[in-house]
Structure 1
């Protein structure tokens, strides 16, 4: 076991993957905390789907420019497309022409369909999208690592630096507007940061599972925390622990790292929910005994 851990920590590929995993675990729950507070837990899924179209556009641009490898522009394409899609969702929601869930559904279906069609035009196959759908340690390159560091730093800067105004916006938008906060700009900012988080997480977790890393750590933290700030801090810790543990497990066992991370998170949520329920029942029983005596 010691030799296995040593080999993993001395492997340049795993070193990059672990760096990316830590950054994903830190940044994704920060954005997820705001999305849960706003009732937009599925926004990450919608953006993840449209990011696939961006990946395929990057492939298409790389093929047209004879860039090697073909997916060299995949991540920049995903970033641009997911940001544009997130802003479009927010504009549609703000103007009230289409309900938020309908706009998300359109992104779900259009994102996957566009990705499949464009990857064919770029000379690839749907198999080339698999690593972006479910994540792959082997695809984390040096440029990917630098992209992740830069984007994660930006996400953390916005998510933590503007925690007060963003909490006010997500908790009560009408109140935020009444005290003079630029709610329109802040709503767009939340959507853009969510899109950047999806782009950061895609290589390790995958576009189809990235929303879980944004939302499930927050859901676990809410089971044991009563405050917004503590929930965010706990969610960040849970996110880092689950991402690193998922990578370590998949280094030993052949499995998708994204799927393993999500399984760990779901298992942690189920265990935490069970324990907290037992504790609450025990506390209620003790209180009843105290009242009866």
Structure 2
């Protein structure tokens, strides 16, 4: 149990606990808006930014964040152009992100091992700068969700009704996209770009399976994510497992239990 007192493990616990608040909250709104795959898209674009950060010797998470925010504007613009084919915008931006990342990988062969830590997660390497970034993102996301909970609820369930009621839908869509980009950029060093969508979507799936109201769903998604992240980190440290993969498998296990519980209720 010495690992619990290790400074690197304590930083991992703090970073994981913070992301376990913001990622499922944003994931819930994305799932309700049928944009669950946006997490995969922005995470792949973020990796291109991380690669560029290593290439030009700038803090990789910051460059990944810029890339993700730009991509979120691109997705929103394409969604407006292809209203009947919203998923097309996600596919286009993801393709561009993967292509750009592959080119940057070839330009900087010396840093590919560092980039791999962002692909698969490297929560044990979180430093204090990472924790400050994650904490700042958490504060921003929580402030927006608490202040605009009613507007976000209406937008998530019925965008047309929100528009008719006078809500500036376009700006709220951009706001959600930017917040999602912030969360994903802060998350990729914890669970990795290849697994970050799981932290966005699986807690939301659990919450929607068990919750009887939107308020309950908000609470449940955070509880599920916190349980998976904290217990997953403990198990990974105890048995020397990959932290990101352990967290995701625990999320899937919780989802299976949630679905079984839902069936018992019927």
Is TM > 0.5 for Structure 1 vs Structure 2? yes
8 Å Cα contact 1:56-1:116 kept in structure 2: no
Does structure 1 conserve the Cα–Cα contact (< 8 Å) formed by 2:18 and 2:138?
A: yes
Within-5 A mapping of 1:183-202: 183-202=169-188
Task: Select which of 119, 139, 145 maps to 2:131.
Answer: 145
Q: Equivalent of 1:236, from 213, 216, 222? A: 222
Instruction: Give the unaligned 5+ runs of structure 2.
Output: none
CA shift at 1:276, angstroms? Answer: 2.3
Equivalent residue, structure 2, for 1:213: 199
Give yes or no for the alignment of 1:131 onto 2:117.
yes
Q: Identify unmatched segments of 5+ residues in structure 1.
A: 63-71, 281-293
Deviation at 1:160, TM superposition (A): 2.6
Alignment of 1:56-67 (within 5 A): 56-62=51-57
Matched residue SS, 1:138: helix
Match of 2:191, SS state, is coil
Which residue of structure 1 lines up, in the alignment, with residue 105 of structure 2? Answer: 119
SS of the residue 1:202 aligns to:
helix
2:246 is the alignment partner of 1:260:
yes
Distance across 1 between alignment mates of 2:24 and 2:63: 23
For 1:124 and 1:112, the matched residues in 2 are separated by 19
Runs of 4+ in 1 over 6 A off after TM superposition: none
Q: Does 1:17 align with 2:12?
A: yes
| Contact 1:58/1:73 (8 A) holds in 2 | yes
Report what 1:286 is aligned to: none
Q: How many residues align?
A: 266
TM-score, reference length from structure 2: 0.95
For the pair shown, the structure with the greater C-alpha radius of gyration is 1
2:37 corresponds to which residue?
Answer: 42
